[in-house]
Structure formats: structure tokens, C-alpha cells
Structure 1
Amino acid sequence: MEKTIPQLNLLSVSSMMIRNRKHIMLITFIGLVIGLITSFIITPKYEAYTVFYIPANNSISKSVLGESNLEDFMEFGSEEQTDQVLEMLQADELKDKVIQKFNLLAHYDIKADEQYPLTKVRAQLTSNTKINRTDYLAIKIAVKDEDPKIAAEIANYMSFALDSMRTLMQQERAKQAFDILAYQYQKKQKQVDAILAQLSSIRAQGVFDYKAQSEVLSEAIIKAETQLKAEEARLKVYDLNRKDLPDTTYIKAKGRLEAARATLKSLQPTINTFSKLSGKYLNFEAVYEKEKEALTNLQLRYENAEVDLKKSAAQKFMIDKASVPEKSTYPNKLLVMLSMGLSAFLLACLGFLVKENSH
């Protein structure tokens, strides 16, 4: 004959539990006792945590030396920047710093000569550490350890190591920018010096201020030419009336005419030099002003890059610094006891259910 498989339903299960209630209650009680004993046997762990905000990744020179009233300098990091920091906190580089700092191989009782010791100690540190972002974009680092002091020290050190890592990364980028700007600044300075040397050479030859000199020379030429024409006209009049004039008057008139000619002639070399070099002077002066402005802009950027390279700011706004916890947070004795009791209850129900339906 074929064996009929009984149909299970809530009513049949409830009836089974009522019939075997004493045994089920006893087994459940035993599970609770075992859970209570287990909760005391498990080595307790203490949890310490630190909470901080990440500042925005803004240039120190722009934030402090700019005209933003320090708004950028005091600004919290965006969600994206916070997520980037969370990635950094999960990096093996930071874990290795913690492992070395606190000699976690020995602390976790992992032998250096056993297989994959570094992997094991990293995994143990990861299981003891919880890093997450709060609802308000702060970062919380919670560390569990059998030693409450070590738990607090690791939590605080991780935030400190993060600060150092971010500062180092920013300074590496600032160093690259500084080197580029230093090269460009020095190159531009040489260009400006070369142009200034050309201007100095032209000035040494007599052209040093085009506008002022052109005005003075124009006035001098006009004056000399006017004087020469006046003396020539006066001498012509004297020639017509020479017999009626004293010899001294005529001689003085000729002297003044020669003096006027000499004056105009003496201006000629200066005029020739000015005409020859003024074009070059104007060209070099225009280029010099343009390059000097470019050099000033480069110098400002160079100085800002130097500030970014040599100065650093805190990479976090600390909210809560980890302190030594006074009581353990693991294991949760009530939770362990209830879990064991519930497991015993379910196993007892399942066992009696199988037993009754096997007949």
C-alpha cells in the first residue's frame, strides 16, 4: 500500500505544539540557558567611535587669500567628496598603517609565519571596523576591540591617518602645479629681463622717454628754426642798409645767425638718433608692458601655488573624538540568549513534527 503523506497546516502544527508543549518548553528553556551561558563565555568587545565632517577640497590660497570671506575655507565637503573619503578609509594603505602602528598581528594573535598573515589581519581589522556616512554627510568610524583603550586609539588614529593621506595627496598635486608655474615664471622673467636689457641699451643711446622727449625736441627744433629764420631775415635787412649801420651791429647780427645755425645743427644728431631708435623703443616698451603684466599674473599664481604646497589645513571638522568606552557592546547577552532560545524552540517544533508525521 502507498504511504499517505500528511498535509501540514496551521491547525495541525498548533495541535502538535499543544500536545508536546511541555517538552517544547523544556527544550526552549534549555536553549535560553545555553544562550545565557554562551553570552558570558564569548569574549566581550568594546566599541569606540569618532564622527567628523570633511571640508571641501578648495585651494588654501584661493580660500584664504581670495576675496570669499573664508566661505570656501569653512565649507563642508559635498556628497561626492564624502564618498571619496569613504573609499580612502577602506584602502589597504590606511589599514596597513593601522596594523603597523598597533602591531595588530600580535594583538589578533596571528603568526607572521602562517599562511596569508597580512590578508588575515586586514580581514580581522575590517570585521572590527564599521565606517559609514551619516544622514547629514558626516563620517563615522566605529571600532570594536577586546581592549577598550585600543578601540578608541584605533578609531582616532584612522581619522588622523586619513588627514595625513589627504594632505599628502593634495601636496603632491600642489608640487606638480608649483613646479610647472616655477618653470613658466622663470622663463617669463628671462624674457622680461631680455626686453628690459634692450630698452636699457636704447636709453643709453639717448631715447628714454618717447613722449616727453618728442615734445621737448619738437619744441627745440621749432624754436631753433624760428630763431634761424628770424636772424636770416634780420641780416638781409642789415645788408640792404649796411652803409647806414655801425659795423658792430652787422657783425653781431652775423654772429647771432651763426649761433642759430649752430644750435639747429647741434640738434640734428639727437634728432637723427631719436628718429632711428624711437620706433624700436616704442615696440620694446609695448612688449615690455605686456610681458610685465603677464609676469605679474604668473608671479601671483606662483605665490599661491607656493602657499598650497608649503601650508596645509585640517582635512576634517571633528564632531566627536573617540573616547575609551566604559562597557562592552558585544555580545548583546539578551540577543544571544533569545536567539538560542528561538533556535531551540524551532528545532523542537520541527523535531516533534517530523516524529509525529513519520508514523
Structure 2
Amino acid sequence: MQSEELQQFNLIAITKVGIKYRKHIIIFTLIGAVLGIILSFVIKPKYEAFTIFYAPANSSISKSVLDNNNLEGLMEFGSEEQTDQMLQILNSDQIKEKAIQKFNLIEHYGIDKNDKYVITKVKRKFESNAEFKRTDYLAVKITITDENPDYAANMANYVGYILDSLKTNIQQQRTKQAFEIIKIQYFSKKKELDSLQNVLTGLRQKGIYDYLAQSEVLTIAIVKAETQLQEEEARVKVYDAYKSKLPDTTIIRAKGRLAAAKAAISSLKPRIETFGKYSGDYVENEALFEKQKEALAILQNKYENAQVDFGQSINQKFIIDKAQKPEMKSYPNRLLVVLITTLVAFLIGLFMAIYNDIILPNFKKA
């Protein structure tokens, strides 16, 4: 009860003081309002421009387009991970340095070029005028505030542009390394295959073309030739035994066929010897050639894909809103400035009155 009475007393006392010094408080309030009006016109207005975009998924061009002919990977966007990566790049020094250089922000912000901390100051000024954040729907929003509306819009769009460029460069650095590794492997394997091809060409020049086919043909030929020789030899022996009863032409023909059979065997033997000598090497090198050929085909596919990923690039963002030149200033809010200064002036006047009539006498009594 006592505390309520004390509180009521204090409120009454403050009200009485306010009424007593109402003229002074009104004067303070009016002065605050005038200062607020002046201040609202003195403060340089600033304009706000923004661009909004989504970060796409990190999809390989070759895998999405060439291998599967499936564009779903390329069309995905708005993942939390990719958005955070974009924000990390936006807050990097590279973004700040490129924007500072592009728009000559040292001069634009009125910073002394000879200042000892000129770079630090211009970066801090840029940071205070730039905001990079994630929206509720996982998009990235770049907001630039500047006294010049053209600068605000152009800077917002430029930061989005160099973000695209920086992310592309980061990806190409990785794809370049992968491309160089695959390139070395591909040409090394190609050289190895060419060497095997030369070996097989040399063996073909010696008469080895197809192991299975030649083996079958030569086997049939030698068996047939030997059978023919045995038959002709047996026939000649019979003819010799009865040559007195046979015409000379019959014996001559039989001996001719025997000679032909011997000649056929004589011509086959070198080929069979060569085939037996080199066929093993041919089979071994041909099997190795086919194996390496398959490996080269796989490497060639990887090489071509890596070449596409390294040599081509795609947009690193899906733009939703492009920054436009703002028509209205975003800062300051003149009405708000006037209201705040008026309220502050009123409170100062009231506090001075309370101090003079309540606080100060209590201190003197103590």
C-alpha cells in the first residue's frame, strides 16, 4: 500500500513539475522539433537497390548434358548449402576489392587517398552500405545503399555479376586440375596403344593376321596336303609295279601329282613354322591391345567430359529480381527523425524540470 502511495505521489509530483515548467518543456520540445526538421534536411539521403537470385546446384555440365541428357541437375536451385557458399563468397575480400576498384569508391566515399588506413576505411564503408543475406525462401539478396541511386543499382548488379565470375573461376580451377590429370593419362594410354598397334602390324607383316582363323586354315591345309602326298606316293608305287602294263602318260601324270603334293607341303612348312613362332606373341599382344583399347575408350570419354567442363561455363545464379534505379530514398525518414528529436527534447526538458524540483532538493536534504 505504501509503495502504491509512493508511486502515486511520484507520478503526481512529476505531473506537477511538468505543469509547473510546461513553458520550458514546450520550448525544449519546439526546439527539438525545429532541430529535427533541420536535421532531416541536412542528412544526405540514401537510396537502396537490391537484386535477388537463387544459387544453382553444383552440377557437372558433361554429366548433366552429355552423359545422361538429363537437365534436372542443372535446373535444381535454392539448396541451403549452395546459398551459404554464395554468401561466403559475397563476404570475401575479392568482392570488396573488385567493387572498390570498379566504382572508384575511395573517391566516391570521400576518403583521403593518402590516409594510412585508406583500404581499411573504404572496405568498412562498403560493408556498412552493403548487405548480403539469405531470404526466407533460401534465395540470396544483395542490397546496396548509396547517396547516388545509379551507383546503388549498378553496384548491386555488378556484385552479382562478379559473384558469378568468381564462382566460375573457383570451379574452373578445380576442373583444370582434373582435366590435366586425365589428359596425361589419356595420351599416355593412347601412346601405349599405338605401340601395341605397331607390334601387331609387324606381326601381320610376318604373316600372322588372325590366330583362330589361320590356325584352322593351316591345320586343314597341312592335313589335306599330307593325305594327298601319301595317296600319290602309294599310287606311284602301284603304277611302278605295273608300269609295263600301263601307258606312260598315266605314270607321268601320277608322278606329276606326287611332285605337286610334295611342293604343296614344302610351301606350307615355312608358313606353319612362322605361324608357330609368332602366333603366341600375336595372341598375347592382341589380347592386351583389346584390353587397352577398352581402357582408352573409357579415358577418352572422361577426357572429353573434362574438356567440356573446363572449356565451358554456365550461369552460377538464377536471377529473380535485377537491381533497378530506386526512385525514392530509403534514408532518412524525415518524419521519424522529427518525431525522435522532438521526443528526446521533450524528455530532456522534463528531466531537467524533475532534477531541479525533485532530485536536487533531496540531495541537499541528504
Superposed CA offset, 1:266-313 (max 9, x none): 101101111111110011011111111111211111111111222111
Which residue in 1 is equivalent to 2:364? none
Superposed CA offset, 1:140-187 (max 9, x none): 111111110111011011011111111122222222222212211111
Which residue in 1 is equivalent to 2:226? 225
Residue 117 of structure 2 is aligned to residue 116 of structure 1: yes
Percent identical: 51
Which residue in 2 is equivalent to 1:331? 332
Secondary structure, aligned partner of 2:319 = strand
Give the Cα–Cα distance (whole angstroms) in 1 for the partners of residues 10 and 123 of structure 2: 48
Q: Taking structure 1 as reference, are residues 90 and 8 closer, same or farther at Cα in structure 2, changes over 3 Å only?
A: farther
Secondary structure, aligned partner of 1:137 = coil
Compute the TM-score of the two structures, normalised by the length of structure 2: 0.90
Give the Cα–Cα distance (whole angstroms) in 1 for the partners of residues 5 and 135 of structure 2: 47
Cα offset for 1:102? 0.8
Q: Taking structure 1 as reference, are residues 257 and 343 closer, same or farther at Cα in structure 2, changes over 3 Å only?
A: same
Compute the TM-score of the two structures, normalised by the length of structure 1: 0.92
Bigger drift between 164-173 and 108-117 goes to 164-173
Which of the residues 10, 13, 18 maps onto 2:15?
18
Which residue in 1 is equivalent to 2:79? 78
Give the Cα–Cα distance (whole angstroms) in 2 for the partners of residues 241 and 231 of structure 1: 15
Superposed CA offset, 1:9-29 (max 9, x none): 643442233213344662445
Q: Taking structure 1 as reference, are residues 116 and 228 closer, same or farther at Cα in structure 2, changes over 3 Å only?
A: same
- What are the residue-to-residue correspondences of 1:293-304 with 2, within 5 Å? 293-304=294-305
Give the Cα–Cα distance (whole angstroms) in 2 for the partners of residues 213 and 343 of structure 1: 108
Give the Cα–Cα distance (whole angstroms) in 2 for the partners of residues 353 and 20 of structure 1: 6
Unaligned runs of 5+ in 2: 362-366
Cα pair 1:16 1:352 within 8 Å, conserved: no
Cα pair 2:130 2:145 within 8 Å, conserved: yes
Cα pair 2:17 2:354 within 8 Å, conserved: no
Cα pair 2:32 2:344 within 8 Å, conserved: yes
Secondary structure, aligned partner of 2:70 = coil
Which residue in 2 is equivalent to 1:98? 99
Give, as a single letter, the amino acid of the residue that structure 1 aligns with 2:12: S
Residue 178 of structure 2 is aligned to residue 177 of structure 1: yes
Secondary structure, aligned partner of 1:325 = coil
Secondary structure, aligned partner of 2:244 = helix
Superposed CA offset, 1:7-50 (max 9, x none): 99643442233213344662445434433332222110000111
Give the Cα–Cα distance (whole angstroms) in 1 for the partners of residues 74 and 268 of structure 2: 64
Give the Cα–Cα distance (whole angstroms) in 1 for the partners of residues 203 and 196 of structure 2: 11
RMSD (CA atoms):
2.1
Give the Cα–Cα distance (whole angstroms) in 1 for the partners of residues 233 and 336 of structure 2: 125
Give the Cα–Cα distance (whole angstroms) in 2 for the partners of residues 9 and 268 of structure 1: 133
Q: Taking structure 1 as reference, are residues 104 and 251 closer, same or farther at Cα in structure 2, changes over 3 Å only?
A: same
Residue 147 of structure 2 is aligned to residue 150 of structure 1: no
Give, as a single letter, the amino acid of the residue that structure 2 aligns with 1:237: V
Give the Cα–Cα distance (whole angstroms) in 2 for the partners of residues 44 and 229 of structure 1: 117
Q: Taking structure 1 as reference, are residues 191 and 92 closer, same or farther at Cα in structure 2, changes over 3 Å only?
A: same
Give the Cα–Cα distance (whole angstroms) in 2 for the partners of residues 20 and 326 of structure 1: 48
Secondary structure, aligned partner of 2:53 = strand
* Large movers: runs of 4+ above 6 Å: 6-9
Cα offset for 1:226? 2.0
Q: Taking structure 1 as reference, are residues 354 and 282 closer, same or farther at Cα in structure 2, changes over 3 Å only?
A: same
- What are the residue-to-residue correspondences of 1:309-328 with 2, within 5 Å? 309-328=310-329
- What are the residue-to-residue correspondences of 1:120-135 with 2, within 5 Å? 120-135=121-136
Secondary structure, aligned partner of 1:244 = coil
Which residue in 1 is equivalent to 2:292? 291
Superposed CA offset, 1:109-130 (max 9, x none): 1110122011111111110111
Give the Cα–Cα distance (whole angstroms) in 2 for the partners of residues 352 and 332 of structure 1: 30
Q: Taking structure 1 as reference, are residues 10 and 88 closer, same or farther at Cα in structure 2, changes over 3 Å only?
A: farther
Bigger drift between 200-209 and 30-39 goes to 30-39
Secondary structure, aligned partner of 2:313 = coil
Unaligned runs of 5+ in 1: 1-5
Superposed CA offset, 1:78-134 (max 9, x none): 211211111111111111111111111111111101220111111111101111011
Residue 243 of structure 2 is aligned to residue 242 of structure 1: yes
